[in-house]
Structure 1
Amino acid sequence: MRLPVLVGVDGSEHAAAAAGLAAREAALRGVPLRLLHASPQLPGAVVPGPALHRLRDIGAQLLQRTAADLAGRHPDLRVESVQSDDAPAGALVAAAGDAGLLVTGMRGRGGFEGLAVGSVALRAAAAAPCPVVLVPSRPGTFAEHGTGQVVLGFDAHRPVGEVADFAFSAADARAAPLHVVQAWAFPAESVSSRSLVVTEEDRADWEDQEVLRLSDVLRPWQEKYPGVTVGSDLMLLHPAEALLNASGGADLLVVGRRAEPRAADGRLGPIAHAVLHHARCPVAVVPHGG
């Protein structure tokens, strides 16, 4: 059985954008869409019974309205609804255990004006066992049409199959071009020290070697997905800066996250963390064991 697409809903603009993208993704994959509403975080260890019942009623109504709206837009889509009394972050991570993809808004109802990424989204991206797509409130044409460019952050010296496969698959499903970005900066001492200077000839030789390496490493995925048009760039920039520059006109940015079995709350690397806080398009964070 193919696993469903899971999305958290809380009535916010960000969650509505995430639900719309999740519905299109589920329809594209031919799998059910699972809506999850979790109890909002309240002060105190114990919530009075009547208040809890009212919160559940409000959540049930939100789920019903959202499901009806999405089913109206996607008549063939099977929509399921789930409620949880757990806090949103824990509920999403737990429910992602039997999902093929988790979609969440960059922010929900909490936080403060100007906050780029909320704590729930960060926890989901860092700890969910499946790939997570984080969606800004205005996710661009990726959500609407599915014909925009997909950008993949990649390192030919440490290729990660799960991340590359996700990006190629996403581009293939949408007949979208894939832009592969490999970034690397020369050590500071190599350009500032009098005893070690990188010449233009050195740089050109390095770039030629890296282009060949990148082409060789990507070949298995290009053979697996022959319909995907692939372009690649080597950038002498910090990886996060290179990815953000490349994703300026993109509709999906794909990065990896090393899965840490011993870290219960997971862990986001510095590149993924920076990208999430500054990206203007949906970002897919794909866990991997490499």
Structure 2
Amino acid sequence: MGQPVLAGVDGSGHSLAAAEWAAREAVLRDVPLYLVHAAPPLPGGEVPDQARETLRRVGERIVQGVIADLGARHPELRVRGEQSAGAPAEALLSRAAGAGLLVVGARGSGGFDGLAAGSVALRVAAAAGCPVVVVPGRRLGGFGNGTRPAGAVPPVVVGYDAHRPVAEVADFAFGAARRRGAVLRVVQAWVFPAEAVSPRTLFVTEEDRATWEDQEVLRLSDALRAPQERYPEVAVRADVVLLHPAQALLNSSRGAGLLVVGRGGGGRLGPVTHAVLHHAGCPVAVVPHGG
């Protein structure tokens, strides 16, 4: 049996959307879904037993309600839930070590409307040992966002750096596309080399730009050769764009079912990942790697 999918639930619309996405993913992977409800500690000193019991009952109702809802829509789903007395991010991170995927809503019940991605989502995306998917706060048809023709499968989009290719990111993106029968759109953003923007360069000709772009296209083609051999059934569309990486990914992910980005070591999210978590309209997968 494969590693389970783990999802955090707190009764908010964002967490319900995340639970639905996680259920579909668990069915696709043929693995169990584990739901975790964790309420942040109450402020102040010692919490009365009656208040603690009330919180426990509320959490139990939330978990059982989500289990019943998901079971009705996905009869083949294997799902169970549990409660944790710890803070939400820490509760999820402690359980993520044994999971194949952690799914959270962009914001929880305590989030601020002006923030696209809340503190729990950002914390687990930065620190989890397994891939994390952050789901926007609405039900998603066909794993994506927006309206699509009946039967259409939205593409999976991955941000890829052919200068420093990462196998973990490629395998996650190719695997997601294969499970869905989706096209994989590989986006490589590039900038002009240093000599093109030096004080000695008066202007960049169209011929120079085309030459540099051709080099990027060839580099990306070489970097994709190995994963394409591992996933020959996945149709790949490679896009090389002269644009800031965050903007390139946001543009490419419109109408996508999933956007995949990598996360290096150090337990921190880079500026590109921050940007897509706050502004992407589709679920975003953050894949940890050692590169």
TM range (shorter): over 0.9
Determine the C-alpha separation between the residues in 2 that align with 1:35 and 1:288: 25
Determine the C-alpha separation between the residues in 2 that align with 1:82 and 1:129: 20
Determine the C-alpha separation between the residues in 2 that align with 1:163 and 1:98: 19
1:103–1:55 CA distance, 2 compared to 1 (3 A):
same
Amino acid at match of 2:276: V
CA shift at 1:139, angstroms?
5.5
1:188–1:280 CA distance, 2 compared to 1 (3 A):
farther
Instruction: Give ranges in structure 2 of 5+ residues lacking alignment.
Output: 145-150
8 Å CA contact 2:21, 2:140 repeated in 1: no
CA shift at 1:69, angstroms?
1.1
Any idea what SS the aligned residue of 2:253 has?
Answer: helix
Instruction: Give ranges in structure 1 of 5+ residues lacking alignment.
Output: 261-265
Amino acid at match of 1:4: P
Q: Map 1:20-59; keep pairs closer than 5 Å.
A: 20-59=20-59
Q: Counterpart of 2:283?
A: 282
Any idea what SS the aligned residue of 1:207 has?
Answer: helix
Q: Map 1:130-141; keep pairs closer than 5 Å.
A: 130-138=130-138, 140-141=140-141
Q: Counterpart of 2:70?
A: 70
Amino acid at match of 1:124: V
Amino acid at match of 1:7: A
Q: Counterpart of 2:15?
A: 15
8 Å CA contact 1:258, 1:288 repeated in 2: yes
The range that moved more, 22-31 or 207-216, is: 207-216
Q: Map 1:209-288; keep pairs closer than 5 Å.
A: 209-260=215-266, 266-288=267-289
Q: Counterpart of 2:148?
A: none
Question: Which string of whole-angstrom CA distances, capped at 9 and with x for unpartnered residues, describes residues 252-277 of structure 1?
Answer: 100000122xxxxx210111011111
Question: Which string of whole-angstrom CA distances, capped at 9 and with x for unpartnered residues, describes residues 184-238 of structure 1?
Answer: 2226883473535432211111111211111111011111111111011111111
Any idea what SS the aligned residue of 2:97 has?
Answer: helix
Any idea what SS the aligned residue of 2:254 has?
Answer: helix
Amino acid at match of 2:191: A
Q: Counterpart of 1:122?
A: 122
8 Å CA contact 1:33, 1:80 repeated in 2: yes
Any idea what SS the aligned residue of 1:248 has?
Answer: coil
1:73–1:95 CA distance, 2 compared to 1 (3 A):
same
Any idea what SS the aligned residue of 1:148 has?
Answer: coil
Q: Percent identity?
A: 65
Length, aligned pairs only:
285
Determine the C-alpha separation between the residues in 2 that align with 1:121 and 1:31: 23
Q: Counterpart of 1:162?
A: 168
Determine the C-alpha separation between the residues in 2 that align with 1:104 and 1:213: 35
8 Å CA contact 1:139, 1:282 repeated in 2: no
Q: Counterpart of 1:84?
A: 84
Q: Counterpart of 2:147?
A: none
Determine the C-alpha separation between the residues in 1 that align with 2:58 and 2:25: 26
Q: Counterpart of 1:102?
A: 102
Any idea what SS the aligned residue of 1:182 has?
Answer: strand
Determine the C-alpha separation between the residues in 1 that align with 2:35 and 2:265: 25
TM-score by structure 2 length? 0.93
TM-score by structure 1 length? 0.93
Q: Counterpart of 1:263?
A: none
Any idea what SS the aligned residue of 1:114 has?
Answer: coil
